[in-house]
Amino acid sequence: MSFTSHPPTGPLRVAVLAGGRSSEHEVSLASAAAVRAGLLEAGHDVLWVEIGRDGVWRSDGEPLSLTPGEGFPGAQVVFPVLHGPFGEDGTVQGLLETLDVPYVGAGVAASALCLDKVLFKEVMASRGLPQVEHVGVGAERYRREPGRVLEEIAGIGLPVFVKPAHLGSSVGIVKVTEAAAIADALAGAFEHDSLVIVEAMANGREVECGVLGIPVAERSAEGPRAIASEPGEIVFVGDFYDYEAKYSPGGMELLIPARIAPATREVVRELAVRTFELAGCEGLARVDFFVDGEEVLVNELNTMPGFTPTSVYAKLFDASGIAYPRLVDRLCRLALERHAERHAYSY
């Protein structure tokens, strides 16, 4: 197979999508501002596109009009720095596909899969990846069978973490230590999402590993499509790694390298790439683990992690020898390469 066109090598015109309709709107704005600065430092032109909480796309304060099949006005590639529903769940990716424009990150299917924590775990379990015990709870089923659902949750023991299944940034997570409190925790999570995941508490260290795609020209014939960063360890103040720990000054510390044995480090890196590939991801991801001695459990995969230079993903790759401007540049080149590759097929 040969590509129908070769991705450009010079400066690019990049549309950065920021904001969005989800509760992670402000986090997205911070990430996108950093991406814009990194792209400018790398020599690219940037078109800032802000998606309001009302869902309207605006450029220079004016509503943006997009036409299927005609690309993205004023841009060669799109960098959707969006977190959570209506941005990281395949909806925006589907829109970008209809525009026929290259875009950074996972495609429609992988985006939808990875933002659904329950479905993601079910698919990874079918491929034999080690994970924490969990129970997925739909609002309708819980309404019909509350007793049976609570029995299933009791089967994984206490404490548990109750989470909305489609949110990131630790939004809506509650730690439950008493069985009597589970019903209230579920009710709170259902305020955010119609699907909730209840996870058993895992022992050990919280370890995160970045994954970054490899350009075709740098891949071996039978090698992986991506590389893994140096794993980092999350050390936080408080009971668990919640929203406050993630985004409050001094709430967490990232230790690079993680305090794990060299052999375990390689298991983490191999599992990160394997999870990335099994989920069908492209471009980038951050895979989160629990590590207890030699035991390594996959927790979740984030297709568009926080993206400021001080965010975990960027720090992991900076420690692995890829500075921030080079990182965002490479992601745009990978997007262009994927777009060219897909145009080589007749659908």
Same domain, yes or no: 276 and 263: yes
Report whether pLDDT(247) > 70: no
Full-model pTM? 0.92
Predicted confidence band of residue 237 (pLDDT cuts 50, 70, 90): confident
Counted domains in the chain: 3
Predicted confidence band of residue 223 (pLDDT cuts 50, 70, 90): confident
Same domain, yes or no: 83 and 48: yes
Closest CA to 198 of 247, 142, 245: 142
Predicted confidence band of residue 23 (pLDDT cuts 50, 70, 90): confident
Same domain, yes or no: 183 and 249: no
CA–CA distance, 188 with 24 (Å, rounded to integer) = 18
CATH number for the domain spanning 121: value is: 3.30.470.20
Report whether pLDDT(22) > 80: yes
Lowest mean pLDDT among 44-53, 225-234, 236-245, 286-295: 236-245
Same domain, yes or no: 273 and 154: no
* Under 8 Å between Cβ of 228 and 269: yes
Same domain, yes or no: 67 and 151: no
User: What local confidence, expressed as pLDDT, does residue 258 receive?
Assistant: 98
- pLDDT, tens only, 31-55: 999 999 999 999 999 999 999 999 9
Reported as half-sphere exposure (CB side, CA atoms, 13 A), residue 5 has a value of 10
- pLDDT, tens only, 87-97: 999 999 999 99
* Under 8 Å between Cβ of 161 and 174: yes
Q: Is 288 a domain residue?
A: yes
Over residues 332-344, the mean pLDDT reads 95
CA–CA distance, 286 with 60 (Å, rounded to integer) = 32
- pLDDT, tens only, 282-325: 999 999 999 999 999 999 999 999 999 989 999 999 999 999 99
* Under 8 Å between Cβ of 149 and 141: yes
CATH number for the domain spanning 196: value is: 3.30.1490.20
Q: Is 8 a domain residue?
A: no
Domain with 177 in it: 134-200
Closest CA to 208 of 314, 80, 282: 314
Lowest mean pLDDT among 144-158, 230-244, 319-333: 230-244
Q: Count other C-beta atoms under 10 Å from residue 240's C-beta.
A: 14
**Burial degree of 2 (CB within 10 A; 0-12, 13-18, 19+):** exposed
User: Which residue, 200, 223, 248, sits at the end of a domain?
Assistant: 200
Q: What residues are annotated to the active site? A: 24, 169, 247, 286, 288, 300, 302, 306
Q: Count other C-beta atoms under 10 Å from residue 55's C-beta.
A: 10
